[in-house]
Amino acid sequence: FRVGHDNFCLIHVSLVPVVGAVGEPKTKPTQASVRDLRGLGLSPDILACRSAQPFEDGIREKLSMFCQVAPHQIFSVHDCESLYHIPVLLRQQGILDVLTKRLQLGQLDIPSEIAHEGEQLWAQWREFARRHTRSLDRATIAVVGKYTDLADSYASVVKALEHAALNVNRKIQINWVEASDLEEATMHKDPLKYHEAWQRMCASDGILVPGGFGERGVEGMILAAKWAREHKLPYLGICLGMQVAVIEFARNMCGMANAFSAEFDKDCEMPAVVFMPEIDPTTMGGTMRLGSRPTKFQDTEFARACMIKQLYGGKDEVHERHRHRYEVNPKIVDDLESKGLHFVGRDAETGERMEILELADHPYFVAAQYHPEYITRPLSPSPPFLGLLLAASKQLDAYLAGQDLVTEAETKLKM
């Protein structure tokens, strides 16, 4: 190999299915896949065997014999309490020793401060995994969306909520609310579904409106944003969730009764959300504003002290990933801000595209045009999601004041 033998380690992940009434593990699939791998000129250094249960006696030795991999280099990756326990499971089986020998990591001179940082990171990961299995207090978030029948549509949002919740010592409970069920039309068509949807949302500790396309359910999202604003309920809007928050505020606080989005009504009298001017509205393919782009916090009295900037660590500029065609109409921004809806973050390229909003005199009402859930990490939760969970669990003020959120017996996670 061009990188050198000691700089390359091949880990082959294979399935060891457990079949039959007696639950007998079968090694033939792994044997066959290793044979095919060697036919391509690759020999695995480590076998990571997925299975529903831990290895029985003799399975590791059998795999070693037929796959020609040393027994101590074969690892059982069986079902655990959570995905976050897999690194703990592998370490218990000695994977660090195998990697250290295979890659000759023992010959490296690692500075003590980096070694200490690694130990702290491992302690935080173990604490994170431990919290997932503990009986923690629950924080309930209503996700008001368009595709709630298929929860996988919001897989990134779910993970972002989970990461943020465990970092603030809470278990997340998601109340899925179909946006269209909140609308008046549903009250006449199916009163039971209508009242159940409102009950789930009203019983939640916070509301999240994620992104989406198309007009269906938009009025229900607007009602959710109104409920959160009027009842001081923590709110996070993402992409479309930001746009509906702007439409709701324009209608009910700025006297723009006909405010709507040009995405859903091209001829609306008061477009609060418009097509981005640099994009051809007649061509749909490849016209989205995509990728990581900088957002600059504004140099205003409100923006300098706003909650979302503090959650981002006081940074003047943040980079987040985008995926949209429409944006807040810059012509109505002054009217919105005069009533308390502040656009604290704008794009760093032109300064005219609204990226982050925060409502004054509210426990937590934040929305972003970008998708912060795309870059969430277990030990580094997305700041907007972190703020939502902190507010929903009544810990936001303490966190912003610099107070610890854990007891002395727990490991503090890096946030």
Other C-beta atoms closer than 10 Å to the C-beta of 136 total: 16
- Cα separation, 255 vs 253, whole angstroms: 6
Catalytic residue among 132, 322, 362, 371: 371
Closest C-alpha to 56, from 22, 92, 96: 22
Radius of gyration of the chain (CA): 26
- Cα separation, 229 vs 231, whole angstroms: 6
Cβ-contact 279, 334 below 8 angstroms: no
Torsional sign, CA 240, 243, 247, 248:
positive
* DSSP of 374-406: GG-BTTB--HHHHHHHHHHTT-HHHHHTT---S
How far out from the chain centre does Cα 343 lie? 23
373 is catalytic: yes
Cβ-contact 27, 66 below 8 angstroms: yes
- Cα separation, 98 vs 381, whole angstroms: 31
| CA distance from start to end of the chain | 40
- Cα separation, 343 vs 297, whole angstroms: 9
Cβ-contact 8, 1 below 8 angstroms: yes
Q: How far is CA 245 from CA 28, 75, 94, 220, 236, in A?
A: 56, 50, 51, 11, 9
Joined tokens for residue 52: 């529903």
- Cα separation, 26 vs 58, whole angstroms: 12
- Cα separation, 260 vs 247, whole angstroms: 6
| Residues paired with 244 in a beta bridge | none
- In total, the chain counts a number of residues equal to 415
Beta strands at 341-347 and 289-297: parallel, antiparallel or unpaired: antiparallel
239 is catalytic: yes
Burial 88-113 (b: 16+ CB within 10 A, else e): ebbeebebeebbeebbeeeeeeeeee
Catalytic residue among 49, 163, 178, 239: 239
188 is catalytic: no
Catalytic residues: 239, 371, 373
